[in-house]
Amino acid sequence: MNFDLSDESRMLQDGLRRLLSDRYDRATRDAARDAPTGFVPEVWAALAEMGVIGALFPEDAGGFGGTGFDIAVVFEELGRAGAVDPLIDTGVLGGGLLAAFGQGDMLEGVIEGSVQLAFAHGEPGSRYDLSRVETTARRDGDGWVLSGRKAVVVNAPAADHVIVSARTSGEVADRDGISLFLVPAGALDIRAYPLVGGGAAAEIALDDLRAGELLGPEGGAFDAIATASARATLAICAEALGLMETIRGLTTDYLRTRKQFGQPIGKFQVLQHRMADVLIEIEQARSAVINLAGNIDGDDRDRHVSAAKNLIGNAARLVVEESIQMHGGIGMTEEYDLAHLAKRLTMVDHRFGDTLHHLDRFIALSAA
């Protein structure tokens, strides 16, 4: 048993931490917020140059990493910095699906940092259910016609290509019969908007759209979608962990320095105890991320996905609410760093399934 990172992982971690602490100042975050894409291209270029995108993929896909621990290291650092760059969307989801279906050329562009992707899977009524796809695709000559609605497609405003899921056969919640289509973003009708906690997304209306090519086997995309989502869940859990660590640091600093009644508020035992509980839950979150990272390619993957996402959803809420509360009024202000971090951490529960979804899923998988 060894819980130390490998030397390569440690170098990646150090380098990325340095890059982000140099790059992620207030001005960058404001620029990202004001950009229609929700991020700053220079930061993206720097991430690509450092090899951060390549670290998400194994060598046979043109990367130099791709293990669960590689993903965990990268995203914990992004979280620590409160970074908003669409590495989950272009990298883990989009890149992961390209890799699954042998799209080496475009994946090379992703790893170099020249291609942006989005994965349009969720729909207005699908909530967090991966197999619930109502959007349809039907053959038309040698092309396809797509119809339906895609909801909260993160990074769609920046994407060069959008990978759209659609049903080519089966019933609305069947796993079989789901296909993927690679659609040039220019062909899409999107309504773009910013996200709480940073980044941008869009609603996509597919009204008999004749565009895009089939990606992977017709009707047989579910397993690849589940794998990409599992890895994306690992990524967002690790990001949440990094966010929690930074928030914990901010809050303990504040408890040490803020004085009321002639003493630092951190001297009040009631706050000490609550901060101790926060620390315990963050350590639990770290262990859940480690469990998931170690099992991401294993047989028990899905139970670990749900265990981690459930635990982290609960921990995130505790960390957000306690840290705001213990800051008092300052914790409510947009200007203070906590606001961004707390909002980003709060939104973690709304992607790839919330605590409730994963509780149900964990129970179902454990009973099987």
Among 17, 268, 290, 302, binds ligand FAD (CB under 6 A): 268
Site membership for ligand FAD, residue 277 (CB under 6 A): no
Name, in order, each residue with C-beta under 8 angstroms of 267's C-beta and a sequence gap of 6 or more: none
Q: How many Cα atoms are found within 13 Å in the side-chain-facing hemisphere of 77? A: 24
Among 1, 27, 270, 367, binds another protein (CB under 8 A): 270
In which residue are the tokens 């909002």 written?
343
Is residue 16 within 8 A of residue 81, CB to CB? The reply is: no
Across 130-140, b (16+ Cβ under 10 Å) vs e yields: bbbbebbbeee
DSSP at 161: E
Region from 84-92, 213-221, 280-288, 351-359 binding another protein, contact rule CB under 8 A = 351-359
Place of tokens 């469990």: 291
Structure tokens at 296: 């991401």
CB-based contact 134:148 (threshold 8 Å)? yes
Q: Kindly state the smallest distance separating residue 313's Cβ from ligand FAD, in Å.
A: 23
Of 54-62, 104-112, 287-295, 352-360, the segment contacting another protein by CB under 8 A is: 352-360
Q: Which listed option, ligand FAD, another protein, none, makes contact with residue 134 (CB within 5 to 8 Å by class)?
A: none
State the binding string over 163-192 for another protein (x if CB under 8 A, else -).
Answer: ----------x-----------------x-
- Residue list 136-155, contact with another protein (CB under 8 A): 151-152, 154
Give yes or no for residue 35 binding another protein (CB under 8 A): no
* β-sheet bridge partners, residue 164: 120, 181
| Residue number with the smallest Cβ distance to ligand FAD | 328
Q: Which is nearer to ligand FAD, 43 or 341 (CB)?
A: 341
Which of 179, 174, 183, 218 has its CA nearest to residue 204? 183
Q: What is the 3-state secondary structure (H, E, C) of 142-154?
A: CEEEEEEEEEEEE
Count of residues in contact with another protein, rule CB under 8 A: 50
Residue selected from 31, 271, 290, 359 as contacting ligand FAD according to rule CB under 6 A:
271
Under rule CB under 6 A, residue 368 binds ligand FAD: no
Question: Which amino acid is it at 111?
Answer: I
Instruction: For the CB of residue 19, give the shortest distance to another protein in the complex, in Å.
Output: 27
Among 84, 159, 237, 265, binds ligand FAD (CB under 6 A): 265
Is residue 256 close enough to count as binding ligand FAD by CB under 6 A?
A: no
Name the minimum Å distance from CB 193 to another protein.
5
Question: Measured in Å, how far apart are the chain's first and last C-alpha atoms?
Answer: 29
The owner of tokens 């019933």 is: 171
Report how far apart, in Å, the C-alpha atoms of 123 and of each of 134, 164, 227, 300 are.
Answer: 8, 11, 19, 28
* Contact assessment for residue 289 and residue 79, using Cβ atoms and an 8 Å cutoff: no
* Contacts (CB under 8 A) with another protein, residues 235-264: 259-262
State the nearest-atom distance from the C-beta of 366 to another protein, in Å: 14
Report the candidate in 137, 134, 136 with the shortest Cα–Cα distance to residue 125. 134
Q: Does 351 bind another protein (CB under 8 A)?
A: yes
Binders of another protein in range 271-330 (CB under 8 A): 271, 317, 321, 324-325, 328-329
Query: What are the φ/ψ torsions at residue 165 (nearest 5 degrees)?
Result: -90, 145
- State yes or no: residue 124 binds ligand FAD (CB under 6 A): no
209/186 Cα distance (integer angstroms): 12
Whether the Cβ atoms of residue 131 and residue 182 lie closer than 8 Å to each other: no
Tokens at 335, concatenated: 């200007």
Q: Is 329 in the site for ligand FAD (CB under 6 A)?
A: yes
Q: Shortest approach of another protein to residue 202 CB, angstroms?
A: 9
Give the residues lining the site for ligand FAD (CB under 6 A): 258, 260-261, 265, 268, 270-271, 325-326, 328-329, 332
Contacts to another protein by CB under 8 A: 122, 124-125, 127-129, 132, 151-152, 154, 173, 191, 193-197, 201, 203, 259-262, 268, 270-271, 317, 321, 324-325, 328-329, 331-335, 339, 342-343, 346-347, 349-351, 354-356, 359-360
